[in-house]
Structure 1
Amino acid sequence: MATSDDAAKARALSSPLRLRILRLCLHQARTNKEIAELLGINPASCLHHVRTLAGTGFLEAQPERRGTRGAREVPYIATRRSWGQRVDDVAPILIETFVQETAALPPEDIEVWRLGLKLNAEHRAEMMDKLRAVVEEYHAMPSDPDGAATSLMIAHHRDPSAD
C-alpha cells in the first residue's frame, strides 16, 4: 500500500517540467533563477516546482551564496532519489520530457535506435532484465569528472499491429 509520502513523491515526478529541473540539477547545483532562465519560464513558477522537488527529497539545497548583485541565492542539486521512485502511468510523462529536452538539439546530438522484434514472454523478460542490469551498472558508477552530461531513455512497447 502506498503511503501519503509515496503519493507526494509520485505527484512531484508526474511533471515533465519537474523532471527537466532534476536533469538540469543532476551534475551541477543551480539556483532557481538559473533554472528558470535555462527553461525559459517565470522564476516564481519555477520556485513552486523547485520547492515541490526539495520538499519531497528530490532536490537538496546547497549552502547559500551571494549573487552578482549581492542577493542571497540558494543552489539546488538533484539527490538521484528519483531513479527508484515508482510513478503510475509514467510512460507519457517520460516521453513528453524526452521530447521537450531534445526539441532544440541538433540531429547529431541525438542517437536513436528503433527495432521491431517478436519475442515470447520469456525472451522479452530476459531482454528487459539485461537492459535494466546494464543501466543499473552505469547508474551505480560515480560520474566521470571529465565526462559530458548525457541522458538515456529506453522505451519498450507492444505493437498490436504486428500480431
Structure 2
Amino acid sequence: MQSSDDVAKGRALSSPLRLRILRLCLHHSRTNKEIADLLGLNPASTLHHVRTLVATGFLEPQDERRGRRGAREVPYLATRRSWGQRVDDVAPVLIETFVQETAALDPEDIEVWRLGLKLNAEHQAELLAKLRAVVDEYAALPSDPDGHATSLMVAHHRDPTAD
C-alpha cells in the first residue's frame, strides 16, 4: 500500500505540464513568470503547478531576487528527485509530455529509434536492465558546464501483432 506522500508525489508527476516545468527548471532556476512565459501560459495557472511541485519536493525555491521593476521574484530549481519516483500508469503522461515538448522542434532536431525484437523473458529483462543502468549512470553525473540541455525518452512495449 502506498503512503499518502507517495500518492501525492505520483499525482504531482501525472501531469505533462508539471513534467515540462521540471524540465525547464532542471538546469536553470526560473521564476513562475519565466516558466509561464516559456510555456505560453497565465502565471496564475502556472503557480498552482509550481506550488504542487514544491510541496512534493520536486522543485526547490532558490534565493529570492529582485526583478526589473523591483518586484520580489523567487526562482525554482528541479531537485532531480522525480527520476526515482514510481508513478502508476505513467506511460501515457510521458508520451504526451514528449509530444508537447517536441511539437515545435524541427524534425532534424529529434533523433528517434525504433526496433522490433523477439526476446524471451530473460533477454528482455537483461536488455532493460542494461538500458536502465546506462541511463542511471548519466543521470547521476553533474551537468556539464559547457553542455547543451537534452532529453531522452526510451519506451519499451509488447507488440502483440508481431508475435
| TM-score after normalising by structure 1 | 0.99
Equivalent runs, 1:45-56 vs 2, <5 Å: 45-56=45-56
Q: Distance in 1 between matches of 2:39 and 2:16?
A: 12
Equivalent runs, 1:89-128 vs 2, <5 Å: 89-128=89-128
Q: Which residue pairs with 1:148 in the alignment?
A: 148
Q: CA deviation at 1:109?
A: 1.0
Q: Distance in 2 between matches of 1:141 and 1:72?
A: 33
1:50-81 deviation per Cα after TM superposition (whole angstroms, max 9, x unaligned): 00000100000001100001110000000000
Q: Distance in 1 between matches of 2:142 and 2:81?
A: 15
Q: Which residue pairs with 1:66 in the alignment?
A: 66
Q: Distance in 2 between matches of 1:136 and 1:21?
A: 21
Q: What percent identity do the matched residue pairs reach?
A: 83
Q: Which residue pairs with 1:38 in the alignment?
A: 38
1:103-145 deviation per Cα after TM superposition (whole angstroms, max 9, x unaligned): 0001111000000011110110000000001001101111100
Deviation beyond 3 Å, 4+ runs, structure 1 = none
Extract unaligned runs of 5+ from structure 2: none
Equivalent position SS for 1:157: coil
Q: Which residue pairs with 1:2 in the alignment?
A: 2
RMSD over equivalenced CA pairs, Å? 0.5
Q: Distance in 2 between matches of 1:92 and 1:63?
A: 35
1:74-98 deviation per Cα after TM superposition (whole angstroms, max 9, x unaligned): 0000000000001000000000000
- State the number of aligned residues: 163
